[in-house]
């Protein structure tokens, strides 16, 4: 059997290291790895949350504008903008895009309904004005 390592009595490293190899001075008792990294403080995490919410607000606002689903994505953009403001981020861009998306979608729906009412009233007017001469079924024309 082999014997454990016994340092020489004049070995200076043995005095510096102590009884264990990880007790070397300058390493803080952490061995070769050093101390654990610092955790993020709450303020930094909240700021990152605000920044993320602001980015989501802008994304939802743009999606609402481009997709025509502003009634769905507009409120999501406004909600994320409010979260960004509470967490210290910037949410004004998402809020503006959300309201614009909602307004454009509502205006489009109103114009679409008005156009449908206009066409229906024109067909009714033509059929009452011209009577039997006006055919609404264009596939049976002779």
The answer to whether residue 21 is domain-embedded is no
CA–CA dist 43, 91 (Å, integer):
18
The answer to whether residue 138 is domain-embedded is no
- The per-residue pLDDT for 89 is 84
Reported pTM: 0.57
CA–CA dist 69, 140 (Å, integer):
39
Q: Closest by alpha carbon to 56, among 31, 84, 96, 29?
A: 84
- CA dihedral sign, ordered 59, 61, 65, 67: positive
The answer to whether residue 115 is domain-embedded is yes
**pLDDT tens digits, one per residue of 39-92:** 556 666 767 888 999 999 999 999 999 998 999 999 999 999 999 988 888 889
The answer to whether residue 102 is domain-embedded is yes
Q: Closest by alpha carbon to 65, among 99, 90, 91?
A: 99
The answer to whether residue 7 is domain-embedded is no
Domain count, the chain: 1
Judge contact between 35 and 28, C-beta under 8 A.
Answer: yes
Q: Which domain holds residue 119?
A: 49-130
């Amino acid at each position: 059997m082999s014997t454990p390592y016994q340092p020489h009595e004049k070995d200076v490293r043995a005095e510096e290291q102590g009884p264990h190899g990880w007790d070397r001075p300058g390493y803080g008792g952490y061995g070769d790895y050093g101390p654990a990294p610092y955790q993020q403080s709450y303020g930094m995490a909240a700021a990152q949350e605000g920044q993320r919410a602001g980015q989501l607000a802008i994304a939802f606002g743009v999606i609402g504008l481009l997709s025509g689903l502003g009634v769905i994505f507009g409120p999501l953009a406004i909600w994320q903008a409010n979260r960004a403001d509470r967490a210290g981020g910037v949410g004004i861009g998402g809020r503006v895009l959300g309201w614009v998306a909602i307004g454009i979608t509502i205006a489009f729906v109103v114009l679409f309904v008005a156009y449908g009412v206009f066409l229906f009233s024109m067909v009714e007017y033509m059929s009452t004005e011209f009577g039997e001469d006006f055919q609404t079924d264009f596939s049976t024309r002779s």
